[in-house]
Amino acid sequence: MNFQEQIKQGIPSKLPPAKPYPEDANRAPKRKDILSADEKQLAIRNALRYFPKEWHQELAQEFAQELKDFGRIYMYRFKPNYELKARSISDYPAKCQQAAAIMLMIDNNLDPAVAQHPEELITYGGNGAVFQNWAQYLLAMKYLSEMEEDQTLHMYSGHPMGLFPSSKEAPRVVVTNGMMIPNYSKPDDWEKFNALGVTQYGQMTAGSFMYIGPQGIVHGTTITVMNAFRKVLNKGESPKGKIFLTAGLGGMSGAQPKAGNIANCITVCAEVNPKAATKRHQQGWVDELIDNMDALIARVKEAQANEEVVSIAYIGNVVDVWEHFYEQDIFVHLGSDQTSLHNPWSGGYYPVDISYEESNRLIREEPDVFKEKVQATLKRHADAVNKHTAKGTYFFDYGNAFLLEASRAGGDVMAENGIDFKYPSYVQDILGPMCFDYGFGPFRWVCTSGNSDDLDKTDAIAADVLNKIMAESPEEIQQQMQDNITWIKDAKQNKLVVGSQARILYADAQGRAQIAKEFNDAIARGEIGPVVLGRDHHDVSGTDSPFRETSNIYDGSRFTADMAIHNVIGDSFRGATWVSIHNGGGVGWGEVINGGFGMLLDGTPEAEGRLKSMLLFDVNNGIARRSWARNEEADFAIKREMARTPKLKVTLANNVDDEILNNLSF
């Protein structure tokens, strides 16, 4: 059977032979043995419902072994034999082009060059899954191949519930991931219900099919690092020879060395998993690999002396780096961490002084011991950071729950008031007031032809649009506009593409809509093929996350999730091709609700109408909420948008003088 025939087949008619896992695969950590004997039977019963009864005897034994070996039932036997990668949209068997675009994006998320643990359908973050198992992948692709323009596929945490009649204007796919009753959203709840096969952690852009490899975060990371240096250096002073010390080279964190190079500094990024570090080095996302502390210290001192721009991956634990740099009096200008601390007990963060292999054994066999060692390491990590900040290092939480988990472990990370953290979130200090409040966020697109020439043309279109907008932009956003123009002009030479021919660009609502319109016009003229629009959920209005995206909301509403829910509902009837809403993502299960979308531009007038309506709402929903929270930058941005868009009418906040409140008695 050829590629198209295999997709249309779905679950095969004949039981395929069992297959061994590849020995060189970057395997996901073994998950907790958390189910009771009865629950393990239920997990296998749940898995077998995808298959005919005559297969159950054989598959029951196999799935029981998978559950024992991995803590999950991945159904590896059913992984397709064809190469998983984003093909040209024309290669996919589909009755409507929107469905073909979604198939392309799913395959891109599972491409081994893109995905962190592709055998287990995990794209990034250690547990950010596209599907729970390979049967779900096969069934979803079959449904998409059959989908017509008046049908919608509903996805329940990776499970394709089915095709339902809808309308041409409705989304083609609606995705939910991990949506739990609130009292069942603790980390162990995820372990249990994911093992049962009834929910999954979709991260942000894994379970919504919008991940584009490390490029997806590199632009935001570049903006963060550049502006962090602007905060600590004298005006005009170069970051060359200055150190940015961090950790994590997995999925999203893999962008950090590349961003450091673009920002012109020395980046030292620790990673405990040798395969992850080697993969990023092979892909050109980090310049040098070092696995010896003495060699690292010597190399960093040399780079400082020569004011180099270089990125170095240290294969080892970042706590060792912080401690040894302090002992060697190596000054760190910027410090952060981007390990997967949203998932601290299942391989998102590793204890110091224990090998990677031994840590993985503890995760599975002695989880309580592993947790104790992780928490002890977090306290030690915090102590080492505190020593550096006392010497002038600027440390910021990178939205990975480092400060949250360090505080829960008893680390010295709390401010004097005992409520706030002593270090800011990067959103509080940088991305919130400088970008999100003004509406700037990670707009992205994928050229579905797979042709690099199409990507070059879209880069040129985007640069031209931004230059025209900047000429008329107010002073308040000139720096943002210039940073983004520089980014898109240099994007190709920075070799950002991994997997699909994709690009990310921070832009506001005006920029996104105008760029998208120009893309649609170019498609209509036959100059480029269809384009998928999307964004990271880490954006202006897609995500309610009190310790990250909405950490600069100070009216008490940062623990609410109305914005994300309105975002996905509002996008769905304004023209999105698919929409998604997730529990978890970035900072962890139970800590955040985030929504996303995908939209296919096909060159039609209908696509132009959809992009104008949906992109305006998608951004300004968040600006309005931020303005209501009394954020000055958002108040400026929403008033400017209302002047530009007469039918937009937003409730504005009236500020009260502090003196009135201070004179009250309670």
Using pLDDT thresholds of 50, 70 and 90, give the confidence band for residue 251: low
- Amino acid identity for residue 594 in this structure: N
The pair of structure tokens assigned to 431 is 């991305």
Q: What is the pLDDT of residue 340?
A: 85
Residue 111 three-state SS: coil
Query: Rounded to whole angstroms, what are the CA distances from 646 to 140, 566, 582, 640?
Result: 42, 21, 33, 11
| Residue 594 near residue 544 (C-beta atoms within 8 A) | yes
**Is 622 known as a binding-site position?**
no
Arithmetic mean of pLDDT, 612-618: 97
User: Secondary structure of 475-532 in the HEC alphabet?
Assistant: HHHHHHHHHHHHHHHHCCCCCCCCCCCEEEEEECHHHHHHHHHHHHHHHHCCCCCCEE
What is the full DSSP assignment across 185-250? -SHHHHHHHHHTTS----TTTTTTT---STHHHHHHHHHHHHHHHHHHSPTT---TT-EEEEE--S
Name the residue among 615, 620, 619, 648 with its Cα closest to residue 519: 615
pTM of the model: 0.89
What is the model's pLDDT at position 604? 98
The mean of the pLDDT values for the chain is: 94
pLDDT of residue 29: 83
Residue 6 assigned as binding residue: no
Please tell me the predicted confidence (pLDDT) of residue 126.
Answer: 83
The strand pair at 288-290 and 310-315 is best described as parallel
To 10 degrees, what angle do helices 134-146 and 97-110 make? 160
Q: What is the pLDDT of residues 31-66, one digit of tens each?
A: 989 999 999 999 999 999 999 999 999 999 999 999
Q: Which amino acid is at 290?
A: I
Q: What is the mean pLDDT of residues 138-162?
A: 98
Look at the block and give the residue holding tokens 């590849």.
22
34 and 195 Cβ atoms separated by less than 8 Å: yes
Instruction: Read off the pLDDT of each residue in 570-599 and give the average, rounded to a whole number.
Output: 93
Distance CA 168, CA 176 (A): 21
Q: For residue 338, what are its two tokens?
A: 């981007």
125 is in an annotated binding site: yes
Banded pLDDT at 131 (limits 50, 70, 90):
very high
User: Which is higher by pLDDT, 435 or 251?
Assistant: 435
Helix (H, G, I), strand (E, B) or coil at 319: helix
pLDDT at residue 503 above 80? yes
Q: What is the pLDDT of residue 164?
A: 98
Structural domains of the chain, with CATH: 3-27+77-196 (3.40.1770.10), 214-413 (3.40.50.10730), 436-658 (3.40.1770.10)
- 398 among annotated binding-site residues: yes
pLDDT in tens, 307-327: 999 999 999 999 999 999 999
Q: Is 197 annotated as a binding residue?
A: no
CA distance 111 to 134: 14
On whether the CB atoms of residues 82 and 7 are closer than 8 A, the answer is no
The number of beta carbons lying within 10 Å of the beta carbon of residue 315 is: 21
Q: CB of 178 within 8 A of CB of 159? A: no
C-alpha–C-alpha distance, residues 2 and 14, integer Å: 16
- Helices 605-628 and 562-572: crossing angle, nearest 10°? 170
Helix (H) or strand (E) holding 261: helix 256-262
Q: What is the arithmetic mean of pLDDT over 459-478?
A: 96
pLDDT in tens, 181-224: 999 999 899 999 999 999 999 998 999 999 998 787 888 889 99
